[in-house]
Structures are given as structure tokens and as C-alpha cells.
Amino acid sequence: MATAPANGDSQSGPQRNYQVVVAATRDLGIGKDGILPWELLGDLKFFKELTLSSSDPAKKNAVIMGRETWESIPVKLRPLPGRLNVILTRSGSFDFATVENVVICGSMKSALELLASTPYCLSIEKVFVIGGGQVMRKSLAETNDSNGKESAEVDSKNKFETENFSFLPKMIFDRHEEYHYLNLVEDIIRSGAQKNDRTGTGTLSKFGCQMRFNLRKSFPLLTTKVLQEKGIHIWDGNASREYLGRVGLAHREEDIQTCMLTTLEKVFDQLMDVIDKVKNNPDDRRIILSAWNPSDLKKMALPPCHMFAQFYVENGELSCQMYQRSAEMGLGVPFNIASYSLLTCMIAQICDLSPGDFVHVIGDAHVYRTHVRALEEQIQKMPKPFPILKINPSKKDIDSFVASDFKLVGYDPHQKIEMKMAI
């Protein structure tokens, strides 16, 4: 049984996020001759528990299914109890609408819109798409944003004829963008070069990597572990008195500014320059933020890792590509992805544009040896849907934002995974 998260298309009305839950063979077969071709009690139990459980007892979950899947459920067992059964049919000739707990919809889009509107947005906690093959193949392709990966307890012993078989589209399992991160981590652990580093910890490393995140419908805050819930302390170690003494900056303040400051004097406001160009000269090929200032490097406790960002405007959308010379995958990179994505969304709002893509280009992408075990645990986890970022629409000045102007909707990460920072 696999669950794969996905996000609804938000281009017309607001739509619900959903998860896909399905039992599949290794070849992604899910049904034969209108029925389940196996009976795995563990899978059925998992399905029941997953789709029935809600954290708020006043709410229940919805299960979206194709008309044939509905018909494949034995009459005495349908509608699936304790859940809102949403049946997709284009023919409209089926009269289930009178049955309690059953809703009929003509498309996946209309189902997700319906579930995002009252009363369902208040009474339904989670939405699961439960099959069958047609719904997965056509509808998820239509919403163009299914993602996730097979991590199924699959029935590998049974070999079925593929005739009359309902199949899942393979794309369901490889499109969640968190896999750009997870696959890169895995690749570094499996085949990275062993290198020494300034902290003496030892790393595994790859050179020249790229990840791409779509900011149009959701926000890439990684879900396979929870990022520090309140307050960010990843740089505290590089601003401590002990560390500053070690790098010859004992005279400097023990704070985050010392750690990251590019230049002490504010000689040129690069951010305002970027905003001005995005607004007034959007085709400019020099919309650049540069933190790498060679003459100032000696004044810094740690020279900038994310050193260069270029912004790009196209079709009313703002994209950003950031070059990071050194990227620590376990603790740092999830924050780097989130912070440049956030900056892109903020500048887009100020300039009356929509967010486009965040492209993360990395020079030395490395995993500290001390993080390998924790990251191996993390890459086994199934990503959940990315949250949606809401920004107070009235804010039009980059210096006016405060924390309460930002709201993350639907962030439901896996638990925290402990990793120590190498200093």
C-alpha cells in the first residue's frame, strides 16, 4: 500500500490538497476485471486506518474514487463508512446522490473545488484519492501536479496477466519535488567523493548539482522532517565567542550579523536595485544579488555560501536562480531552499507578479559523515504535500513585512530528525 501526496491545481478556484492511497504490484497494477486481484489484509487495514483517522473528532475525511472503483466495492460495504465518498463520473446517469455520505462530481477539478468550499472545507479534514487506474491516469495528469513515490508494501509474489489490468501511471511516483532533494542526498551518500573540510568532520561530496522547485501552487518547505519549529539557530555556532576567536575575529560582536555580514558599510542596496529592475526593466539580464565581495571576505566569520542570485521575469512570473558554492545538505539546504523561495515570493508580490520557479544550483553539495545515518532515515520517508504560502496581500514594501504577514497552510511534516551542526 502506498500513499503519495499531491497538490490540487489552484489556477481557477481554490482546490483541496490530496493524498493518493493505492495498493499496487511492482509493475503498478492495481486491479483486474473490475476487482482487486488480491486480498492483503495488512493493506486493507492500513487503508481503513489511514482514511478513517482524523485529528479533530468533529471532522471526517473524504475519499475520491472513479465510478468503476465504486462499483467494485461490495454493495453491503458501500458507501465506505465514516468517510465522505466522492464518486467521479462523466455520464451523470448514476443516482448515488441520494445516498447519505455520497457526492457525485463530473471531474477531479470540480471535486477538489467542491471540497475546498463550504461546508466541506470546514467538515472534511483530509482528502484521499483512492483509485482506480482511470482516475489516476487521466485526472491526476489533468491537474498536472501529482507527486510522490512508490513505497509500497506490494504484492511481489503474485504475477498477473496484464490484460484487463488497471495500471497506475508511473509519473505518480516520481514527481514530488521533494525528491529532487532526497535523491540528491541519496546520490551523495551512495557515490559522493570523500573529502576533508574546514570543520574536520569529513564529508561526502558531489560537484555541480541542480534542483528546481515550482512556486506556483505550493511552497517547498521540506516535509520528510520538521524544520526547527520556532526560531532559527543553525548559525549560532558560527557566531559564538569561541568560534570568532578561532577565525581571528575576537573583536567582533557575538551575533548572526557577524557571521553572515558581507560588508559593514551599506554602500549599495542590492535588494532595492533588484526590485527596481524587476518592476521597471523586467527583461534586464542583470537582475542580480551578489554576496561574494572579495575585498570583504576577511571581515567575515564565514564567507557567504549562497553567493549569487539572478532573477528572471516571464509571462507575469518571477523566477530566481541561486548559486551556492557550498551546500550542507542535512541542516542547511532545507533552509536555503525555503529562504530563497520566500524571497522570490515576497519580491513577486511587491512587483505585482506571481512566483515562478526557484532553481538551486550548487557547487560543492556535501553530507557530513555525522549526518549519514539520520539522512538515510529521512530518505526512506514518503514526502507529504508541500504547504501553501499565504502572504498578506496589502504589503507592497519589502521593508514592511513582519512575521504575521506570512501563513503556511497545510504544513504537516514528519517528525524532527536530530542532526548536529559541524562548526
Ligand X SMILES: NC(=O)c1ccc[n+]([C@@H]2O[C@H](COP(=O)([O-])OP(=O)(O)OC[C@H]3O[C@@H](n4cnc5c(N)ncnc54)[C@H](OP(=O)(O)O)[C@@H]3O)[C@@H](O)[C@H]2O)c1
Q: Are 377 and 225 spatial neighbours (Cβ–Cβ below 8 Å)?
A: no
Q: How many residues does the chain have?
A: 423
131 binds ligand X (CB under 6 A): yes
Would strands 388-391 and 406-409 be described as parallel, antiparallel, or unpaired? antiparallel
**Is the dihedral angle over the CA atoms 182, 184, 190, 193 positive or is it negative?**
negative
In sequence order, the β-bridge partners of residue 124 are 60
- The answer to whether residue 138 forms part of the interface with ligand X (CB under 6 A) is yes
Q: Which of 139, 143, 223, 321 binds ligand X (CB under 6 A)?
A: 139
Least distance in angstroms from the C-beta of 62 to ligand X: 15
CA dihedral 211, 217, 221, 225 (to 10 degrees): -100
Q: Shortest gap between Cβ of 36 and ligand X (angstroms)? A: 5
d(CA 62, CA 215): 27
Binding track over 86-125 against ligand X, x by CB under 6 A: --xxxx--------------xxx-----------------
Q: Does 36 bind ligand X (CB under 6 A)?
A: yes
User: Which residue number, 134 or 262, has a Cβ lying nearer to ligand X?
Assistant: 134
CA angle 320, 333, 214 (to 5 degrees): 40
51 is a site residue for ligand X (CB under 6 A): no
**Closer of 110 and 201 to ligand X (Cβ):** 110
Q: Specify the stretch interacting with ligand X by CB under 6 A; choose among 33-41, 277-285, 333-341, 384-392.
A: 33-41
> How many other β-carbons are positioned within 10 Å of the β-carbon of residue 282?
16
Q: Residue 30 carries which DSSP code?
A: E
Distance CA 195, CA 145 (A): 38
**Which entry of 305, 320, 345, 351 is annotated as an active-site residue?**
305
Tell me how far, at minimum, the Cβ of 17 lies from ligand X, in Å: 18
**48 contributes a contact to ligand X by CB under 6 A:** no
Backbone angles phi, psi at 337, to 5 degrees: -60, -50
Total residues interacting with ligand X, rule: CB under 6 A: 29
Is 19 a binding residue for ligand X by CB under 6 A? The answer is no
Query: What is d(CA 134, CA 34) in angstroms, rounded to the nearest whole number?
Result: 12
119 CB-near residues (< 8 Å, 6+ apart): none
Nearest to ligand X of 63, 318 (CB atom) = 63
- Residues 147 to 176 in contact with ligand X, rule: CB under 6 A: 166
Give the residue at shortest CB distance from ligand X: 132
Query: Does the bond joining 5 to the residue before it have cis omega, within 30 degrees of 0?
Result: no
Task: Note if the bond before 330 is cis, omega within 30 degrees.
Answer: no
Residue 44 binds to ligand X (criterion: CB under 6 A) = no
Select the residue interacting with ligand X from 5, 132, 192, 355 (CB under 6 A).
Answer: 132
Subset of residues 286 to 325 that bind ligand X, contact rule: CB under 6 A: none
Distance CA 125, CA 292 (A): 47
C-alpha cell at 137: 491516469
Please indicate whether residue 345 is annotated as part of the active site: no
The yes or no reply on residue 133 touching ligand X (CB under 6 A) is yes
Contact range with ligand X by CB under 6 A, out of 134-142, 149-157, 244-252, 361-369: 134-142
Footprint on this chain of ligand X (rule: CB under 6 A) = 22-23, 30-31, 34-36, 65-69, 72, 88-91, 106-108, 130-135, 138-139, 166
- Please give the positions annotated as active site: 305
